[in-house]
Amino acid sequence: MVNILHRVGIKSSSLNDAHKALTTREGLSAWWTNDTQGEGEVVGRVLKFRFGAGGIDMKVLELDPAKRVLWQVVDGPEEWIGTKVNFDLKQEGDWTIILFKHQGWKEPVEFMHHCSTKWAVVLLSLKSLLETGKGAPAPNDIKLDSWE
Amino acid sequence: MVNILHRVGIKSSSLNDAHKALTTREGLSAWWTNDTQGEGEVVGRVLKFRFGAGGIDMKVLELDPAKRVLWQVVDGPEEWIGTKVNFDLKQEGDWTIILFKHQGWKEPVEFMHHCSTKWAVVLLSLKSLLETGKGAPAPNDIKLDSWE
């Protein structure tokens, strides 16, 4: 099993604001994809992220306000099914830190390389949303290659 | 051992231009850090990347024009020493694809999470340089947290 890891700091934000951006439909649609459906504020419910051609469904596995959000992929690209997406939050001085892990990839395939960079792109959008009020969710995200 | 993986596509570029950006001092200083010294076009030589507070020295291990660039870290942050940084290049239709791997991390420490996101930031700068003629090398890069 291999994992995608990231860490972003958000200046002058709060743990609550970060948690809200990771759990509410309004928040999620302002940094990941405009087309976000479902419910992220209740354990057991499913969030539906759509991107033109395809989509990803995530079941909410754990919620620890201002501390942790854990999802499991229940539908989407074959390589993603069953993997988990984890956000750990903490405050360090003036910075809200998000430690990110997309865990449980079977193999480090080329698509995993792509997804690693793409997660950085969307986490930078989340950082921008929380720092400036404006993210760059799909379809206005940076396109990395012909796979998008 | 754990690895940082990324994949970026560069539209309407060429393998030669990408190789040049990864091997010449002029190229490297236009996307990673303004303060790039040393020599990247000869196997066995050392490149010196500097970032205000610290720096990283990379020995050139392999060069395969328009195909591969491989460095080994010989000085820099403790966790980086001995690790390898690999760029594989290939053409896919209108896109030049860079497959990136920073391999040989002993443990998935928090600093590795940071470096994973930071590599994405500098690879996006490389993409921008090759697509538009303008990168965002340090000190004009996106700062991720208080560690920079």
**Could you give the 3-state DSSP secondary structure of residue A122?**
helix
Asked whether the beta carbons of residue A99 and residue B108 sit closer than 8 angstroms, the reply is no
Are the C-beta atoms of residues B9 and B90 closer than 8 Å to each other? no
For range A40-69, the mean pLDDT: 95
Question: For residue A80, which phi and psi values (nearest 5 degrees)?
Answer: -85, -25
pLDDT tens for B21-63 read: 999 999 999 999 999 999 999 999 999 999 987 899 999 999 9
pLDDT value at residue B17? 96
ipTM above 0.85, yes or no: yes
Report yes or no: A79 at the B interface, CB cutoff 8 Å: no
What is the nearest CA distance from A121 to chain B, expressed in angstroms?
8
pLDDT of A23 higher than 80: yes
DSSP string, chain A: -EEEEEEEEEET--HHHHHHHHHSHHHHTTTTBSEEEE-SSSTT-EEEEEETTEEEEEEEEEEETTTEEEEEEEESSGGGTT-EEEEEEEEETTEEEEEEEEEEESS--HHHHHHHHHHHHHHHHHHHHHHHS----BTSSPP-STT-
Give the mean pLDDT of chain A. 96
* pLDDT recorded at residue A59: 98
Interchain CB distance below 8 Å, B7 and A117 = yes
